Amino acid sequence: MSRRGNPYDNALAENFFSILKTECIYRQKIDTYKQAQKLIDDYIWFYNNERIQLKTKLAPLATRHQFVAYFIP
């Protein structure tokens, strides 16, 4: 998130944290810090590598691979 007075990327960060809370944190009862840390780490990995995006119908990692393959023959 950017510093005060520069709200350009705050919407993206706030959107991610909102999704993280609703899809990950609020659905489970967390008892320990280690459990919370593992849950969040696993969700971030899922969010970046497996989650299917509505616009592209691909996971973000697959989209990145296509982008790289297009520009680096």
pLDDT, tens only, 30-63: 999 999 999 999 999 998 888 888 888 888 888 8
pTM score over 0.85 = no
pLDDT, tens only, 3-14: 676 666 677 788
Residues 6+ apart with CB under 8 A from 43: 20, 23, 24
The domain ranges of the chain are 10-71
pLDDT at 63: 85
Q: Lowest mean pLDDT: which of 21-25, 45-49, 66-70? A: 66-70
Give me the DSSP letters along 29-66: ---SHHHHHHHHHHHHHHHHHTPPPTTTSS-HHHHHHH
Please state, in angstroms and rounded to a whole number, the distance separating the CA atoms of residues 16 and 28.
18
DSSP run (H or E) holding 22: none
CA 62 to chain centre: 15
